[in-house]
Amino acid sequence: MNIAFASSTGELIDQHFGWSKTFHLYEVGKDDSKLLGVIDSSEEPEGEKEKLNYKIGTIGEADIMYCTQIGPTAAKMIQAAGVHPVRVAQNETIKDAIFKLQETLRDAPAPWLLRVYHKAQSRN
């Protein structure tokens, strides 16, 4: 699965989805993960809807997006684009979030996570 993390540092999940200038994209499996790259989303257009569409477009490769906050309109739009938003506490580390996700995948994944995981596996 490809996971986008709204992060200003590459270490912490510390950004609101709509305000994040960078997303760190990881490929995450049950037992491994690797950084695919850093997505620059700083060239935002004017207008709220255009800005949201731009942000969603920049993370189009992601199956899941982690952030500290996301508004209801953005959450609906991102889900419609096929990306599942996940809110976490301010300054949770990307490393910890990946570890927790991998534990959940190995132990007892929620139905939504199984759908995302199998969709990503069939794509590969």
pLDDT, the chain, mean: 93
Enter the CATH code of domain 2-123: 3.30.420.130
Q: What is the pLDDT of residue 6?
A: 97
- For 86-121, write each residue's pLDDT tens digit: 999 999 999 999 999 999 999 989 999 999 999 998
CA 49 from chain centre, in angstroms, equals 19
Spans of all domains in the chain: 2-123
The confidence band for 44, taking pLDDT boundaries of 50, 70 and 90, is: confident
The confidence band for 11, taking pLDDT boundaries of 50, 70 and 90, is: very high
**Whether the predicted model's global pTM rises above the 0.85 cut:** yes
Q: Burial level of 51, CB count in 10 A (0-12/13-18/19+)?
A: middle
Of the CA atoms within 13 Å of residue 88, those in its CB half-sphere come to 23
Query: Do the beta carbons of residue 117 and residue 109 sit within 8 Å?
Result: yes
Beta-bridged to residue 50, according to DSSP, are none
